[in-house]
Structure 1
Amino acid sequence: MSKYQEPAKELLEAIGGSENISVVTHCATRMRFVLKDPAKADVEQIERIKLVKGTFTQGGQFQVIIGNEVSSFYNEFIKMAGVSDTSKEDAKIAAKQNMNLLQKIIAHLADIFTPLIPALVVGGLILGFRNVIGDIKLLEDGTKTLVDVSQFWSGVHAFLWLIGEAIFHFLPVGITWAVARKMGASQILGIILGITLVSPQLLNAYAVAGTEEIPFWDFGFATVDMIGYQAQVIPAILAGLVFSFLELKLRKVVPNSVSMIVVPFLSLVPTVLLAHVVLGPIGWMAGSWVSDIVYSGLTSAFGWLFAAIFGFVYAPLVITGLHHMTNAIDLQLMSELGGTNLWPMIALSNIAQGSAVMAMIYINRKDEEEKQVSIPAAISCYLGVTEPAMFGINLKYGYPFLAAMIGSLVAAVISVGSGVMANSIGVGGIPGILSIQSSYLVVFALAMVVAIVIPFILTIVFAKTKIGKMSFKKSKTEAA
């Protein structure tokens, strides 16, 4: 008998049976359910199952954390439940039936930016490495960089910009593709739309401020500025949405016999014109407005307060799914300022959660069963994946989660107070230091130490107080 058979049976019973499952799928660590009646799921009974590390509801989906064994467990579960294997896209579509308007907006943003994250992480690491070899003066008594003294490293520095430019300057191509993919429009036309926003024919967005005469298209009765939208987020989103709307509407009214010719032409050409006449300028202004507000808030006299609030509440935002909105803000800050001072706080929050788990490993060092959950969760958290740590350990006991939030608060204040900037979104944990701009590496390392030490100490202190003892008794009672 498979070791997953009994826990699968228990989960099926606690979830409300096969008849309560609308859709089920899984990701790297979690089972994702769309339930016909979420109230029928017995959360307390589910969390008593030995294999389960925790549960939460997000984006209209009831999610059960299993860990790295989720794939094998999922196969056993669907066989026992008598439900078919379902794609993640089907699960998302079904889940939206249980969402309110705000949740739907956040889900759409997540669907647009999530496919772009691997490229952004790679780009951040590349820019960070280029800063290390090209900006930090490590040689000849601190007067020269590796690039200054080595033709090899100079070549590496120049070559890596090929990738960095492709990721960041041509980001609108990825965004318009992701929007078209999300909306069900033609993805290749989405890519072409993005290229028209960053074409070499256009004046580079970064050169606009220093150019006296901007080139333009002359239509006789009107002119249109030939300005590119390199690295711009909002213009690309707006263009992608308008294109997708036009194409999907045209498909419904244009006869199939001429659809192949008429629909692409009537959806792409008007969108490109609108993008350069209306959507681009409006999106640029909106993006500048958003980035100015965030940057001004973080660099003002009350920047420490903004940092403290963000550092404290970021982990709870992850639970709600609202953290997906920070991706768009980070990208806008990068395009306007050449970096982001928001993302370093996110990395520090993740590190703090992992450190609280490390403290729980120390506290429960004699509990072999607990270590099977907590050790992989801590490693995962330090590498940027926080769910196993938060739901499997920190929220289970309560006080480690609070300790991590406090540690994140202090680390965020240090980061923002010192003006720390990241080149890009990176690996959201300890490796995140590779994405930090070279002049801030030392102070960010200090903030990392704070994010490690404070949650560790506070978790141990809380464990010995009434709060810790109450949380410990509660968890033991629920597990009984």
Structure 2
Amino acid sequence: MGKFEKEAKLLLDAVGGKENVTAVSHCATRMRFVLADEKKADVKAIEAISTVKGTFTNAGQFQVIIGNDVPIFYNDFTAVSGIEGVSKEAAKAAAKSNQNPLQRVMTMLAEIFTPILPAIIVGGLILGFRNLLESVGMPWLGQAMADGKLLFDADGNPIWNTIVQVSPFWSGVNHFLWLPGEAIFHFLPVGITWSVTRKMATSQILGIVLGICLVSPQLLNAYAVASTPADVIASDWVWNFGFFTVNRIGYQAQVIPALLAGLSLSYLEIFWRKRIPEVISMIFVPFLSLLPALILAHTVLGPLGWWLGQGLSTIVLAGLTGPLKAVFGAIFGALYAPFVITGLHHMTNAIDAQLIADFHGTGLWPMIALSNIAQGSAVLAYYWMNRKSEREAQISLPAAISAYLGVTEPALFGVNVKYVYPFVAGLIGSGIAGLLSTTFGIQANSIGVGGLPGILAIKSQYWGAFLIAMAVAIVVPFILTIFFRKSGFLTKSEDETVKAPQVEAIAEAEKAAVSTGTLVELISPLTGQAKPLSEATDPVFASGVMGQGVLIEPSEGELVAPVDGVVSVLFPTKHAVGLVSEAGVEILIHIGMDTVSLEGNGFEAHVAQGDKVQAGDKLISFDLDVIKGAGLVTETPVIVTNQTDYQPDVLGDLPRQVERGQAILTASKL
């Protein structure tokens, strides 16, 4: 009998039986199902299984969180069900059959925009800081004072000089910061066309070249088109082919033209790959893909995309500034969190970028930041009411912190949607905050960090109004969540607890001999930048549902053992490893996110499952360039999974640089 045979049978019944399972795969922590009918899955029964830590649905996949015993559980599940497992990519492909056409478009947009979001967020912070330097004036700076007296302009208003006007140093900093700001936003089409080709598995270098051809200095800058007379464009900014001309206009910061151009390039390459013999494909496929895509981009797709983008942003702008802007703000503010659940929220990235390109600011993004804050406040209230419950606090507090930093998936999937009433409280709070945002006409320079730090991306003249809306987004959901709970509004008949990790002990004998208060020190298994676990891009790790610990962004591709112990799990693709220390501390280390998709490429294991290791022994070597080249992040969670037995604590402040072998965590026996 397999270790998890009983639990596997329970799970098979709870997901609707063998006939309801279209595909099943697993990663380092989760079983991933594609179900014919998700309504047949009994979530309550599934989460009652002792080995299950939680469930959620994403991109057409029903995911069941198991923990670092998932390879064993998976083998037992396939044995009792008779279902052959598939690769993760095959499961994702099968999952698309559960999506309608709109969801498929949203999924594609999400996969295109996700890799470039870090750059967009950095750009937003840079613009926010430059906005502070350029726009925030103080009457006591520079020429605003003369002989100790405040100066006034002709209208009787005090003269406010900005920081860059009075400080050569900050003026230089401001000028310097335009370098990355311009690179990120003016050259955004390069990132988009690259990301499209990455998503479509075509030649990424061709995508980069195509993007450069959309923003080349030989073209009239998109920002200058509106101020350039039509006759000047016709005479100076065209390609003249004798009997016809083509406008020589750039598409700086334009989103839709870049998307359409990138897709045309990818589909052309896929078309020619199937028809041109491999022996000459290196010559003809790139040529017959790039050149037609470039012609289409500047003659049809670019002008069409620009027109569509401007039309879309104009419609949204009308909602943001028209007579019903308050209603628009309330509706969008209330609906953004459901957009996150369905994946529709990724479309707002394109709209924000288009608004910024066309109108030099966006009123949409402030409402997104406020929605994140509202959901964070709802889950914070839930934590406050259940703070004495260790199991619930382990989920809700990290989820609240994550939402306040702009990542709401842990809050939504871990608490708010699960219990309904916090979710509704968050929707009401974000709807009111959205109404205030559009009423005040709050504008952001760009996309920023979508939570409390989001104020840095807001134009300085709207900081006061944004603080008011932010206060509403914090206070209203918090109060409503408590009120709903006490009044019984929308609460379930039994308020199920959020299960804390309960991983079966592998070294029961050693654990029994460890006394309460025993402290186990863990060294850093990697060299790199250590950060709070809540900053992980994967919501399951960030929420702490799998365990607490630390997140490390490695700078070198070598992983060593953090403690003396046994290799309890070595994932077949070598991207994740589990260990049990001599004192019974159970540790999971997951190299990168979604790296299971590499199927072992770029990873080399130096140990086998069951091997005894000493702290500092080499476990896995991995190629950072291979991971990054696949468009994946390298951040690596190092977590203690048996939190019911050991309390993990981070040593020192985060973020900070760490070296292999340097003490980073302690685990104390409870």
The answer to whether the superposition gives a TM-score over 0.5 is yes
Alignment pair present for 1:325 and 2:363:
no
For 1:127 and 1:90, how far apart are their aligned partners in 2? 41
For 1:231 and 1:352, how far apart are their aligned partners in 2? 30
2:486 to 461, 464, 476: 464
Aligned match of 1:45 = 45
Tell me if the contact between 2:391 and 2:497 (Cα under 8 Å) persists in the aligned partners: no
Aligned match of 2:117 = 117
The letter for the 2-side match of 1:362 is W
1:424 to 446, 461, 472: 446
The structure where strand makes up a greater share of residues is 2
- Residue by residue over 1:242-296, the C-alpha shift from the partner in whole angstroms, topping out at 9 and shown as x without a partner, is 1112111111111222211111111111211121111111111111100000001
Equivalence map 1:48-447=2 (5 Å)? 48-49=48-49, 54-64=54-64, 66=65, 72=68, 74=70, 77-78=73-74, 81=77, 89-138=89-138, 140=141, 143-212=160-229, 213-214=232-233, 215-447=237-469
Per the TM alignment, residue 23 of structure 1 is displaced from its structure 2 partner at its CA by 4.0
Identify which range, 209-218 or 194-203, moves more after superposition.
209-218
Compared CA separation, residues 144 and 410, structure 1 to 2 (3 A): same
Tell me if the contact between 1:229 and 1:280 (Cα under 8 Å) persists in the aligned partners: yes
Tell me if the contact between 1:8 and 1:73 (Cα under 8 Å) persists in the aligned partners: no
Compared CA separation, residues 476 and 217, structure 1 to 2 (3 A): closer
3-state DSSP of counterpart to 2:450: coil
2:475 to 450, 453, 477: 453
Per the TM alignment, residue 466 of structure 1 is displaced from its structure 2 partner at its CA by 3.6
3-state DSSP of counterpart to 1:62: strand
The letter for the 1-side match of 2:494 is K
3-state DSSP of counterpart to 1:33: strand
Tell me if the contact between 1:53 and 1:373 (Cα under 8 Å) persists in the aligned partners: no
Per the TM alignment, residue 6 of structure 1 is displaced from its structure 2 partner at its CA by 9.8
Tell me if the contact between 1:54 and 1:396 (Cα under 8 Å) persists in the aligned partners: no
For 2:439 and 2:136, how far apart are their aligned partners in 1? 22
Tell me if the contact between 2:4 and 2:76 (Cα under 8 Å) persists in the aligned partners: no
Tell me if the contact between 1:23 and 1:94 (Cα under 8 Å) persists in the aligned partners: no
Aligned match of 2:594 = none
Tell me if the contact between 1:400 and 1:459 (Cα under 8 Å) persists in the aligned partners: yes
Identify which range, 224-233 or 252-261, moves more after superposition.
252-261
The letter for the 2-side match of 1:382 is Y
The structure where helix makes up a greater share of residues is 1
Per the TM alignment, residue 24 of structure 1 is displaced from its structure 2 partner at its CA by 3.1
Tell me if the contact between 2:421 and 2:485 (Cα under 8 Å) persists in the aligned partners: yes
3-state DSSP of counterpart to 2:274: helix
The letter for the 2-side match of 1:400 is P
The letter for the 2-side match of 1:59 is A
For 1:184 and 1:249, how far apart are their aligned partners in 2? 13
- Residue by residue over 1:361-392, the C-alpha shift from the partner in whole angstroms, topping out at 9 and shown as x without a partner, is 22223322211211111111111221221222
The letter for the 1-side match of 2:25 is V
Q: Which has the larger radius of gyration?
A: 2
Per the TM alignment, residue 458 of structure 1 is displaced from its structure 2 partner at its CA by 1.0
For 1:50 and 1:438, how far apart are their aligned partners in 2? 52
3-state DSSP of counterpart to 1:63: strand
Per the TM alignment, residue 14 of structure 1 is displaced from its structure 2 partner at its CA by 4.3
Compared CA separation, residues 477 and 240, structure 1 to 2 (3 A): closer
For 2:8 and 2:400, how far apart are their aligned partners in 1? 25
For 1:145 and 1:478, how far apart are their aligned partners in 2? 51
Compared CA separation, residues 194 and 359, structure 1 to 2 (3 A): same
Identify which range, 99-108 or 412-421, moves more after superposition.
99-108
The letter for the 2-side match of 1:300 is G
Identify which range, 400-409 or 421-430, moves more after superposition.
421-430
Compared CA separation, residues 231 and 251, structure 1 to 2 (3 A): same
Unaligned 5+ runs, structure 1:
none
3-state DSSP of counterpart to 1:475: coil
For 1:37 and 1:306, how far apart are their aligned partners in 2? 35
Identify which range, 188-197 or 153-162, moves more after superposition.
153-162
> What is the total number of aligned residue pairs between the two structures?
470
- Residue by residue over 1:25-59, the C-alpha shift from the partner in whole angstroms, topping out at 9 and shown as x without a partner, is 559x9764334665664311123356766534332
3-state DSSP of counterpart to 2:62: strand
Identify which range, 382-391 or 40-49, moves more after superposition.
40-49
Tell me if the contact between 1:5 and 1:76 (Cα under 8 Å) persists in the aligned partners: no
Compared CA separation, residues 75 and 443, structure 1 to 2 (3 A): farther
3-state DSSP of counterpart to 1:467: coil
Aligned match of 1:24 = 25
Unaligned 5+ runs, structure 2:
145-158, 500-670
For 1:90 and 1:437, how far apart are their aligned partners in 2? 45
The letter for the 2-side match of 1:450 is V
Identify which range, 71-80 or 334-343, moves more after superposition.
71-80
Q: Which has the higher contact order (CA 8 A, sep 6+)?
A: 1
Per the TM alignment, residue 80 of structure 1 is displaced from its structure 2 partner at its CA by 5.3
For 1:124 and 1:9, how far apart are their aligned partners in 2? 50
3-state DSSP of counterpart to 2:493: helix
Identify which range, 256-265 or 74-83, moves more after superposition.
74-83
Q: Percent identity?
A: 60
Compared CA separation, residues 417 and 31, structure 1 to 2 (3 A): farther
The letter for the 1-side match of 2:163 is L
Compared CA separation, residues 51 and 82, structure 1 to 2 (3 A): closer
Tell me if the contact between 2:187 and 2:252 (Cα under 8 Å) persists in the aligned partners: yes
The letter for the 2-side match of 1:321 is G
Compared CA separation, residues 238 and 373, structure 1 to 2 (3 A): same
For 2:326 and 2:115, how far apart are their aligned partners in 1? 33
Per the TM alignment, residue 75 of structure 1 is displaced from its structure 2 partner at its CA by 5.4
